[in-house]
Amino acid sequence: AFCHDMLQESTYNLILPNERIPLHKKIGMNLVLQDEITKNPELCTLAVDQINICVDADGILNHADREFFARLNLVAGKHSMSTKKANFKQARGYFEAGISLLHADHWTKQYGLSLQLYENSVVLSFMDGKVETVPSRVDDILSNARSFDDTVDSRVLLAKYLTSQAQYADATNGVLIVLSSLGEAFPEEVTSSHVTNEIHAITPMLKGITKDTFLNLPT
């Protein structure tokens, strides 16, 4: 492996610096010409790995290129999550690269794509243990969401983040807001009588329900 890496590095260094970015783009563009690339995890990740090197180069990618590869990064990230040996760091990198490829007015013109990339970035931040970006990503979603339904997943993730930071009161308030919006009212002060009444109301509903019933519920 060491010899292979040294050979690869030596070969790469033979390419003039100003020719490297265009070459990466050419390789990436040729790879996406393959049939059903989105269904081929290996080709998909190879293509976005080449293009992501070009992201910060001025003018190398036009608007159409950027949107196409933002979508392909979303696909590549999902592929990385779904393998038996899921690579959370790699998947998160693809979602973040996809975000960097979005247009300046992406919440207006690329709403669905933006929502998916931001939500997946937050999820992978938890899985990868990199929660520093969670508040800003969630805030962007909440600030730009077109409906309450589009914010539910992010509000749940925010509650988990706040709990992980021992901000229990804020996490609880966030969950109560979601439940209230879904039609579930909670008293401001919960007493023992409230708990007793709820137990009596729920007990008949659980008749015949087993542990396996809960385990088999859709996620």
pLDDT of residue 190: 74
Q: Give the residue-averaged pLDDT of 135-163.
A: 92
DSSP characters over 148-159: SGGGHHHHHHHH
Torsion sign across C-alpha atoms 139, 142, 146, 151: positive
CB 40 within 8 A of CB 34: yes
Terminal CA-CA length for the chain: 41
Question: Cα(168)–Cα(177) distance, rounded to whole angstroms?
Answer: 14
- What is the chain's length? 219
Look up the pTM and report it: 0.78
More confident residue, 99 or 129: 99
Question: Cα(100)–Cα(67) distance, rounded to whole angstroms?
Answer: 10
pLDDT of residue 2: 46
More confident residue, 215 or 109: 109
Which pLDDT band holds residue 121 (cuts at 50, 70, 90)?
A: very high
Q: How far is CA 71 from CA 103, 174, 211, in A?
A: 12, 31, 39
Question: Cα(52)–Cα(160) distance, rounded to whole angstroms?
Answer: 31
Which pLDDT band holds residue 151 (cuts at 50, 70, 90)?
A: very high
pLDDT in tens, 34-73: 878 888 888 888 999 999 998 877 778 889 999 999 999 9
